Amino acid sequence: MSLALLRELEPVVETNLNRHFATAKEWFPHEYVPWSQGEDFDGVLGGRAWEPGQSKLSDVARTSLIVNLLTEDNLPSYHHEIATMFGRDGAWGTWVHRWTAEEGRHGIAIRDYLLTTRAVDPVELERARMTHMGAGFETDHPDSTLHGIAYVSFQELATRVAHRNTGRISEDLVCDQLLQKIAADENLHMLFYRNLLAASFELSPDDTMRAIRDVVLEFQMPGHGIENFGRKAVQIAMAGIYDLRIHHDEVVLPILRQLNIMGREDLSGTGNAYRDELAAFMTELDRNATRFEERRAAIQARRNA
Ligand SMILES: [Fe+2]
Ligand SMILES: [Fe+2]
């Protein structure tokens, strides 16, 4: 199934590769780092040690940037997963390597920015990276190409939004510009995968529906394995960088709409049952998002009083 599907999708990969090469604009991470603010650290070079007062970022901006960076840092594991799933030959292989190179740029750029501006504790950051990468990343459905394509479609859009909103709340023009640039990359990645997902629907509607149902119901951010992720995620949600409302309105729903999930007429009875489960979940997610917004507003009102 999986191998046949990979072969059937290869022409679609080829078309979308060409579209990607034509639309992706070359950019250079070094241009987004204010190197003149840089300074030696203590240790080997005997410079100044890091102290919290040196960071101009708010606590939550710092948390969010660290989560985004650690997420990008785990690239070797993601590469392993998608190279195993999609293979390294032909158009698939070209995409896997190109995607990896673009993602590699994100971690490089954010780290250079954070260290140059002394935005975060460099020792803590390195230790967090070691712990996080030590745990690795595994997809929930390693044997299913369809689940893989479905997951990355939503994941790329989720990271796009997370980067974009982190830049916005950073209150630092350089940081905002850098994260806009990264978010633009993530958007092109999302388009690539979403187009593959649309093509999968044409080839095998019921199986694609099932993969989407599973991925949406089980969705976790790619960085969910980061130490104390739960606490960090709450802080990020409270600041409106990434919360249930955003997840529902700006990530899951737009992709479901684009794929015309609710209007499809090519599903069998099983496919329809998967779609019903997905629809019920979306209603529940919407309700939970509203509940979260109300709770957040109440907490903020209490804080302001
Ligand atoms: Fe990225
Ligand atoms: Fe990406």
pLDDT in tens, 14-55: 999 999 999 999 999 999 999 999 999 999 999 999 999 999
Which ligand approaches the C-alpha of residue 71 most closely? 1
Please tell me the distance from the alpha carbon of residue 201 to that of residue 49, in angstroms, as a whole number: 55
User: What's the pLDDT at 1?
Assistant: 46
Q: 0.85 exceeded by the pTM?
A: yes
Which ligand approaches the C-alpha of residue 162 most closely? 1
How far does the chain reach from its first CA to its final CA, in angstroms?
Answer: 60
- The pair of structure tokens assigned to 274 is 């998967």
For 81, 160, 227, the CA distances from 129, given in Å and listed in that order, are 19, 21, 10
- The pair of structure tokens assigned to 253 is 């729903």
Q: Among 186, 157, 161, which residue's Cα sits nearest to residue 20?
A: 186
How far does the centroid of ligand 1 lie from the alpha carbon of residue 263, in Å?
Answer: 32
How far does the centroid of ligand 2 lie from the alpha carbon of residue 106, in Å?
Answer: 9
Check residue 43 and give left, alpha or beta (phi > 0: left; psi -120 to 50: alpha): left
How far does the centroid of ligand 2 lie from the alpha carbon of residue 31, in Å?
Answer: 20
pLDDT in tens, 209-225: 999 999 999 999 999 99
How far does the centroid of ligand 1 lie from the alpha carbon of residue 177, in Å?
Answer: 15
Helix (H) or strand (E) holding 98: helix 90-116
How far does the centroid of ligand 2 lie from the alpha carbon of residue 100, in Å?
Answer: 9
Predicted confidence (pLDDT) at residue 232 exceeds the cutoff of 70: yes
